[in-house]
Amino acid sequence: MASRPTARPGQRDLTSGPIASTLLAFAIPTLGSSVLQSLNGSINAIWVGRFLGEDALAATANGNIVLFMLLAFVFGFGMASTILVGQAFGRRDVAEARRVVGTAIGSFVPVAAVVALIGWLTAPHILGLLGTPGDAMPLALAYLRVIFVAMPAALMMTMLMMTLRGSGDSLTPLWFMALSVALDSGLNPVFILGLGPAPALGIAGSATATAVANYVSLFALLAYIYARDLPLRLRGPELAWLRPDPARLRVIVGKGFPMGLQMIVITSSALAMLSLVNREGVHTAAAYGVTQQLWTYVQMPAMALGAAVSAMAAQNIGAGNWDRVSAVTRAGVIFNVVLTGALILLLTVADRPALALFMGGDSPALPIARHIQLVGTWGFLFFGVSLVLFGTVRANGQVIGPLIILFISMYPVRLGVALGAYSWLGADALWLSFPIGMVTTMLMAIALYLHGGWRKGRIGPTPPPDEIECREQAEATREPGGALNPAG
């Protein structure tokens, strides 16, 4: 007989009441979680840039984007696990939720361990493929190898946090994310400089802090899950469910592959762009890495709004309230223009002090970073519109359309502009390719929303996505920026 789970906290009815205020109230908590997650990468970049200089900053930019892509590969499967856990809790079948968690952990953690080992051994070749500048290569290698050691813990933390959200527990992931951020940010100067009994590890010290934070937070989270006897823990005979079940694994892979592939498209495009940036030298690579930190924050309002729009649209589609679906989308677009536009304006006015936080006011990379920010940041206004429209069409099960659009805008358009216009624009072709690609994404997203036939999708017997699924889908569509981990 199915167990009865506790009520899911924070669940709300999005099919009635005022649209604008409900949408904003739903988006703000997601925005706060994203800020906390990205703050970790920013603080670490400040430590590295101030203590070790531009070479080290360029090295971390190369290392972090490799880890982001590897985690992105399994993020879609984690999201699929989250959906299945949420569905099981909706049926009040805790045993099924535990089986899903067991299959997910039992499948992907061993894969992560193997990938980490291979990555550690092949790190020089990976950095060579990225075209890492020669001055930054030894630093990047030292950093990336330790990051690979941290990867299994980072993956398991991401998987556990996502499945906890699927069970309705949004607070536990937030607390342990905060613990990881505090440890990582606090230990960075300790291991970089060798404070107290700690050895001075330089750039490897930053990665060591990340590894320590990930493993300590993971073990603390596991201890908390068992101490509080949270519903997803496995005990006794249930531990056998860590042996992957083929049927459940097929569902996880089948549902997770499109979203994982979408993140691979975005991050592989970012890797290709990084290889082009690295050709410009270490100062430009460092400037680009710092600009990515700011871009992480610029896209946060749109990510949160995309998640909120997706959740509200899903509930209203399920209720047959199509007029509200259109109104929700319009409100999301308006809020995005106001909030993202305000951030872009603020950074345009105060770009120098914001960028100087990472590299110091007298850094030779600072003028380059200011130029990149001025040329490229405005495109996020249009990318935010795309996220809102994608959120709506995904709410009715359309995931292939956004994937195709992102592939076109990231590869033929963005990389095509970066390569094709380089001979007459120089490095500016790289920076202009971002807004040009984002405007293209928006135009295709509008066409999909207006003429894509997504309204004709069949809802049931399959229910529309719930709040948890929609949030993970919206957070998956993002530029890697300065974030170390995907949203999890």
Question: Rounded CA gap, 54 and 354, in Å?
Answer: 16
Q: Indicate the range of 101-105, 130-134, 160-164 predicted with least confidence.
A: 130-134
User: Looking at the predicted structure, is the pLDDT value of residue 220 above 70?
Assistant: yes
The answer to the question of residue 1 being in a domain is no
User: What's the pTM value of the predicted model, to 2 decimals?
Assistant: 0.69
Domain enclosing residue 342, as ranges: 19-476
The predicted pLDDT at position 484 comes to 41
Section 314-330 average pLDDT:
83
Rounded (5°) CA angle 30-36-37: 90
Q: Mean pLDDT score of the chain, rounded to an integer? A: 81
The predicted pLDDT at position 486 comes to 37
Distance, C-alpha 183 to centroid of its chain: 20
pLDDT tier for residue 408 given thresholds of 50, 70 and 90? very high
Which residue would you say has higher pLDDT here, 352 or 137?
Answer: 352
The answer to the question of residue 377 being in a domain is yes
3-state secondary structure of 421: coil
The answer to the question of residue 363 being in a domain is yes
pLDDT tier for residue 432 given thresholds of 50, 70 and 90? very high
The predicted pLDDT at position 124 comes to 85
The predicted pLDDT at position 474 comes to 52
The answer to the question of residue 12 being in a domain is no
User: Looking at the predicted structure, is the pLDDT value of residue 72 above 70?
Assistant: no
The predicted pLDDT at position 483 comes to 46
Residue 33 identity (one-letter amino acid): S
Rg, the chain, Cα only: 22
The predicted pLDDT at position 3 comes to 44
Which two structure tokens, joined as six digits, stand for 122? 């092949």
The predicted pLDDT at position 384 comes to 95
- The string of pLDDT tens digits covering residues 237-257 is 988 988 988 888 887 787 677
The predicted pLDDT at position 9 comes to 43
The answer to the question of residue 488 being in a domain is no
CB 179 within 8 A of CB 217: yes
How many separate domains does the chain show? Answer: 1
Which two structure tokens, joined as six digits, stand for 183? 């440890």
Distances (CA, A) of 178 to 128, 152, 170: 34, 19, 13
User: Looking at the predicted structure, is the pLDDT value of residue 10 above 60?
Assistant: no
Question: Rounded CA gap, 445 and 391, in Å?
Answer: 10
The predicted pLDDT at position 7 comes to 43
The answer to the question of residue 11 being in a domain is no
